[in-house]
Structure 1
Amino acid sequence: MRKITETVEKIKPIDARILKEAQCRLDNLTKPKGSLGRLEELAKKVVAITGRENPTLDRKVIFTMVGDHGVARQGVSAFPQEVTVQMIHNFLQGGAAINVLA
């Protein structure tokens, strides 16, 4: 419990100025503004949390959840049910877009 308390005490409020600067930097990259969607939001949060313009994340972890909820059987899915298994194999072989981020 002490470790949790110590960790929580280290959390500082996010500086709005840093968020604004991060957005400005993202907007000045060679790409359409906002084209990276949620990834841009995540990048701004990491910059604001670390307080560093170019933060490094040494211990990255990505949890990829896969599920087949029977929607394909109802005929409303864009893909047949077999695609779920194919996608899982692709994740495991490192061939999915998420593998690039990991």
Structure 2
Amino acid sequence: MNKENEALDVFDKDAVAVNNLTSPEHSRNFDVLYDIPVSVSALLGRATMQISQVLKLGKGDIVELDKKIGDPIDILVNNKFLARGEVVVIDEKKIGIIMTEVSKRN
């Protein structure tokens, strides 16, 4: 079996698992969980600095991150990695993230 077929096979199994969890029987069991708030974050990048450098930061200073424009952004839920995405502009007023890759959960 080639890698493409393996990927499709895994995708099909994941789709079946999701369909099973979203069935009406399971839906009733999980209804109580749907209203629990979670924190969703988009990690644009990271920087390592000495405390002395952080204390010198002021308005207008630039902190260089470890990512470049166009690099994938990590999407975290409750500080746990969920997916990767790309930054997009919404209605020329806001920014958002398009999810391009979702983590496989074991």
TM-score after normalising by structure 1: 0.29
- Name whichever structure is richer in strand by fraction: 2
- Name whichever structure is richer in helix by fraction: 1
TM-score after normalising by structure 2: 0.28
